């Protein structure tokens, strides 16, 4: 029943979308969807790299280095206007 979409069905769907949202808003919606996809992709890549780094043995910190490391989080690859340095949270509890 819903398995095959032909050209007439796709054209009808596109016409309904244009009527609902208007031709002026569609490029902005596509642009924001593209940004969201890039952010999701970069975050998934970062999570995978973090997982790989956590499974490998880490180097011990230098003896005199008590300052937390700075990381830069980017909203999208190559988008330097929205990147900002962040401080990693430190564990202040003693066990």
What pLDDT score does 5 carry? 82
Report yes or no on 44 lying in a domain: yes
Query: Do the domain assignments include residue 13?
Result: no
pLDDT attached to residue 92: 72
Neighbours of 3 (CB within 10 A): 4
Residues listed for the chain: 95
Domain assignment present for residue 12? The answer is no
For each of the chain's 95 residues, which pLDDT tens digit applies? 567 888 899 999 988 988 888 878 888 888 999 999 999 999 999 999 888 877 755 555 556 555 556 666 656 665 555 555 556 667 677 65
Does residue 5 form part of some domain?
no
Tell me the residue range of the domain where 45 lies. Answer: 26-54
In a domain, 7, yes or no: no
Residue 78: the pLDDT is: 58
Extract the tokens encoding 11.
């054209």
- Would 46 be classed as within a structural domain? yes
b/e map of 76-89 (b: 16 or more CB within 10 Å)? Answer: beeeeeeeeeeeee
DSSP 60: P
86: nearest Cα among 75, 72, 65: 72
Provide the domain count of the chain: 1
Residue 90 domain flag: no
């Amino acid at each position: 029943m819903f398995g095959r979409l032909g050209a007439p069905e796709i054209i009808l769907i596109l016409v309904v979308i244009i009527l609902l949202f208007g031709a002026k808003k569609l490029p902005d919606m596509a642009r924001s969807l593209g940004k969201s996809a890039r952010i999701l992709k970069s975050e998934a890549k970062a999570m995978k790299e973090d997982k790989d780094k956590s499974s490998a043995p880490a180097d011990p910190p230098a003896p005199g280095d008590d300052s937390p490391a700075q990381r830069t989080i980017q909203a999208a690859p190559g988008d330097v206007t929205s990147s900002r340095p962040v401080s990693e949270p430190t564990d202040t509890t003693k066990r």
